[in-house]
Structure 1
Amino acid sequence: MLKAARDAGADEAEALVVSATATGIDVRAGKLEHAERAAGIEIGLRVMIGGRQASVSAADHSQDSIDTMARRAVAMAQAAPVDDSLGLADLDQLATHRDASGLALFDPGAEPDPATLQDLALRAEAAALAVSGVSTVESASASYSQRETWLALSNGFEGGHRRSQNAISCTAISGAGTGMERDHAGEGRIWAEDMPSPEDIGQLAGQRAVDRTGARKPPTGSFPILYDERISSGLIGHLLSAVNGTNIVRGSSWLRDAMDMQVLPTGITLREDPHLPRMSASRMFDAEGLPTTARDIVADGALRGWTLDLATARKLGLQSTASAVRGLTGGPQPGSSNIVMTEGSVSRDDLISQMGRGLLVTSLLGATINPTTGDYSRGAAGFWIENGQISHPVNECTIAGNLRDMLLRLIPANDARDWRSVRVPSLLVEGMTVAGA
């Protein structure tokens, strides 16, 4: 691909190859409902000519297809607008250590066959149905996939990562008619030996669905809100989006003027660590061949850095944070790897007791987020807290606030899960608006 790009007239080029296989099994009512097997090799090519770029991809990797791709990409780039920030890394910027074996991103054990996956899904379903109060299981599934990527750049860089993934999920339903409630549990790990049992997953899905029986709207007013660990990473995800270099360059971030200012409470650090073993987001180098390293995005509550690829760094007069990610189509963009947030010293139950009266949120749906101002509004469901204890399930409500104010007031629990790529505990936020009954 690189040779074809040069022959077609490209100044610089990058080629990406993705080879992947995946098997997924869905069961329902004790029987196989759906089975799928996918396998293939796809290729992507980006070319640059005088500050212009274009990208193309294909599933056909014959020489004729590659030559056609290169000619098409060059023709497209010649008609594209000029962007002086485009360009590959200098040779002295490239990662020299590219062996990812120490990250243990691939389980070398035997790939599970469809019969094994079906058994895992059936066991999860049976465990959910065994929970008293579960009326049916909407779906239970098990899957396995492996994916190998190889990146080659015209500046001489070559490298790749090989990854595997095991997953089991279950969605259970309690009640009947208009009183039906649904909830879910799912787990994914690189290594099969790290997976919880399908019985644990099914039982958790069933118990969550039963716990939601009799949900009703909460009162309207200003209350503390506790984001359960299941969904708290989404709140921190809004901060990560706000410090993404693409949004900073556009001036569309509510944190665009906040560098070195307090954005989280004192004592809280938000650390990116791309080198955590057995984590699906880990990597030795980014999508532009730069070496990755751990860094503090927020340190002691203060914002310390944007998330940058080469292009956004050049626009801002800064250095890339080796945060480039990319797919087969389009150029690199900034993206984060594993995120670890400082935990608190108390449990989720302690925070429930501390909040007195308010809302424990376990699921979110829909969103109205103003990326420029940080104004926040989301549909929510969970449990009402009264006198420091869970009182009853709630649904059909909206929670609202301003992200900058919310994040400055949060209190973390100590229940973050080690296996999450965004490792965030339950978070208590004081004084948000709840719109219910």
Structure 2
Amino acid sequence: MSSEIDSSTLLSRASQLIDLARKAGADAADAVVVRSRSQSVSVRLGKVEGTESSESDDFSLRVFIGKRVASVSANPGFDLQALAERAVAMAKVSPEDPFACLADEASLSRYYPDLQLLDTTEVSSEMLREAALVAEAAALAVKGVTNSSGAGASAGMGGLVLATSHGFEGSYMASRFGHSVSVIAGEGTGMERDYDFDSRLYYAELDDPSEIGRRAGERVIKRVNPRQVPTGKDVTVIFDPRVARGFVGHIAGAINGAAVARKSSFLRDKMGQQVLKSGLSITDDPLIVRGPSSRPFDGEGVSGERLVMIEDGVLKHWFLSTSTARELGLETNGRGVRGGTAVSPSSTNLALEPGDISPEDLIRSVGNGFYVTELIGHGVNMITGEYSRGATGFWIENGELTFPVSEVTIASNLKEMFMRLTPANDIDRKFGVAAPTFAIEGMTLAGQ
């Protein structure tokens, strides 16, 4: 384990690569190694269906000559000098990019907080197999569950090694463990499927696999014999936390600086204006200890700070990397992520901050409405904000969840949905995107 975690050799190779690029004619350069180690086991109906194990250290070199930039990638064992010379040769014939550059030296991280991202617990294939079997058995033991789609367990770690020509050197690793199960209830055309899972940085903090299985079984039997409901044009829809997290992802996409620069966000002209209901806030914090998406520095060596992206309903920040910030006439806020040879902005530990009402009281306050547990399709237009998704869930009648509902569509515009959103107080911050249960008034529901 210690040899896998130790990044000193990779950091040394990255630094050598930069030196060779400078000697070959680069004005500036950075080298990154994306590290990955993983193993997983999948089972179905009590038998192992697959086991996987992988590890990789993927190198990328980015070089700058004036306003020209080129990037190349390689696996371990490559010839350092040949790669550096190849990158410089590519840069010399590349078109100019007025915004591509390294992060300013003054913005680079000089202090790396211990965020406790790495759990060195050794998890064997046998332990993974046993966890998957236990989760599946617990789900199948729930009365009404008729079949299994399979269960799985995984363990791994990933991280980043980064060196730049203006003096930054740093690395970090983060672990990740997971259990999941998917089961079926009903027969023939009346079959319904549901699942449950857990994912944590620390193995000991994972939910017990038998609990995950029980939850999956209980979720799926509630979905049997769904009905359709009449079409309505002023329906209050409540989003279960599972689908609420995806909805918050739409907010993140709309305030991503890259989308703003491309003019592909419906919020591109809304900086400093109200975009959520008053009292609501969206936060993003890369420095949470044991946070699911925490990191001591971003893909450019910049340490981000906690930001209130939307405060009291007012838009305050975009997610920015260096090049995106330059294009918008701003400064990076440490949200750059390496994706292959490119750097683009993204969120870290993102949260729609909770309200004061319990989810039970929120449901009671609705009277009649629709509680969504799953969304289907990709009917979201991030340029206009138009929103239309297939949905399943439960009908709310007299403030109580009653019968299951399927084959309906919910629709509105994200601009209006943001302004009509009321959050409950049940936020779970164990995921990189966190959101409580919330209600949105005035949606259109297409049913019978």
User: Which interval holds the TM-score relative to the shorter structure?
Assistant: over 0.9
Partners of 2:388 and 2:279 in 1: CA distance: 27
* Offset, 1:411: 0.4
Q: What's 2:58 paired with?
A: 42
* Offset, 1:144: 0.3
Superposed, 1:22-421 pairs within 5 Å as 22-62=38-78, 64=79, 66-98=80-112, 100-101=113-114, 103-109=115-121, 111-222=122-233, 223-327=235-339, 329-421=340-432
Partners of 1:142 and 1:22 in 2: CA distance: 11
Give the CA RMSD over aligned residues: 1.4
Q: 1:367 aligns to what SS in structure 2?
A: coil
Cα 1:4–1:217 change in 2 (3 A) is farther
The answer to whether the 8 A contact 2:292-2:431 is kept is no
Partners of 1:220 and 1:386 in 2: CA distance: 15
- Which one is further off, 124-133 or 345-354? 345-354
Q: What's 1:2 paired with?
A: 18
Q: 1:332 aligns to what SS in structure 2?
A: strand
Q: What's 2:12 paired with?
A: none
TM-score (norm 2): 0.93
TM-score (norm 1): 0.96
* Offset, 1:251: 1.7
Q: What's 2:3 paired with?
A: none
Residue 434, structure 1, aligned to residue 445, structure 2: yes
Partners of 1:200 and 1:416 in 2: CA distance: 20
The answer to whether the 8 A contact 2:26-2:63 is kept is yes
The answer to whether the 8 A contact 1:89-1:155 is kept is no
* Offset, 1:262: 0.9
The answer to whether the 8 A contact 2:22-2:28 is kept is yes
Q: What's 2:27 paired with?
A: 11
Q: Which amino acid aligns with 2:29?
A: A
The answer to whether the 8 A contact 1:43-1:61 is kept is no
Q: Which amino acid aligns with 1:3?
A: D
The answer to whether the 8 A contact 2:176-2:202 is kept is yes
Query: Post-superposition, which runs of at least 4 consecutive aligned residues in structure 1 deviate over 4 A?
Result: none
The answer to whether the 8 A contact 2:372-2:393 is kept is yes
Where structure 2 has 5 or more consecutive residues not aligned to the other structure, the ranges are 1-16
Identity %: 43
Q: Which amino acid aligns with 1:32?
A: V
Partners of 1:319 and 1:22 in 2: CA distance: 36
* Offset, 1:372: 1.7
The answer to whether the 8 A contact 2:38-2:55 is kept is yes
Partners of 1:49 and 1:283 in 2: CA distance: 30
- Which one is further off, 331-340 or 215-224? 215-224
The answer to whether the 8 A contact 1:106-1:163 is kept is yes
Partners of 1:211 and 1:237 in 2: CA distance: 27
Q: Which amino acid aligns with 2:54?
A: A
Where structure 1 has 5 or more consecutive residues not aligned to the other structure, the ranges are none
Partners of 1:92 and 1:38 in 2: CA distance: 38
The answer to whether the 8 A contact 1:46-1:53 is kept is yes
Q: 2:379 aligns to what SS in structure 1?
A: strand
